[in-house]
Amino acid sequence: MSLRNTKICIVLIILILTIVSCINPIYLKNQYLQHLGTLVLSFILLWDIKKMKLSLLAYLFVAVFIIVHIIGARWIYSFVPYNEFFDTYLGFDLSQIFDNERNHYDRFVHLSFGALFIPYLFEKFKTRFKNHLMALLLAWLTVQTFSMLYEVFEWLLTVFADPKIAEDYNGQQGDPFDAQKDMALALIGSSIACIPYYFKRIKNN
């Protein structure tokens, strides 16, 4: 199968998963608001099918993040039943292990954003600037910037939107330091993802 056809198959999988996630919606209004993010992120994949600039790795990582987001959108993040999944199929209760009833799926998504977007951003900057370290630094900084801007968006949503919708969308779950923790996790994820790129540069020199 050609690279283009592989990418088309990935997009079709995401489309099917998005449609399935909207069947008998549990949180109708909030879920559609969440899927605005799915739509925006999918433009990255659709645009690259035309341009064919991204490696399969970078393309796949963006696709995996979109799938992680689709799962979150189905249960508006705060109610993703991952604990029930682990308890039923793997036999252990995560909430009991960590002694915490908070739903941490949104934390996982912020960590995933940091880790999964580094290959995409690195390749985009490497193409433009032809400098490995500069591309890596700009990719890392871009993750932090978008992480911060997203938290500002959530804050504005809290100010201007219906309080119930804003609370469900933001998923703070009563944590006053939710924004700081989310940004910290994106920073950690992106920093870890940068390590192999950094050592690859050292190895090639």
Please list, residue by residue across 91-111, b when 16 or more beta carbons sit within 10 angstroms of its beta carbon and e when fewer do: eeeebeeeeeeebbbbbbbbb
Confidence at residue 113, expressed as pLDDT on a 0 to 100 scale: 98
Q: Which secondary structure element, helix H or strand E, spans residue 116, and what is its range?
A: helix 105-116
Confidence at residue 191, expressed as pLDDT on a 0 to 100 scale: 97
Confidence at residue 172, expressed as pLDDT on a 0 to 100 scale: 66
Residue in the block written with tokens 């020199």: 205
Residue ranges of alpha helices (H) inside 130-177 are 132-160, 163-170
Q: What angle do CA 88, 77, 170 make, to 5 degrees?
A: 155
Q: Which residues of the chain have pLDDT under 50?
A: none
Confidence at residue 193, expressed as pLDDT on a 0 to 100 scale: 97
pTM of the predicted protein model = 0.92
Confidence at residue 6, expressed as pLDDT on a 0 to 100 scale: 97
Q: Which two tokens stand for residue 85?
A: 């999944």
Q: Which amino acid is at 153?
A: F
For residues 114 and 193, the answer to whether their CB atoms sit within 8 Å is yes
Q: Which amino acid is at 204?
A: N
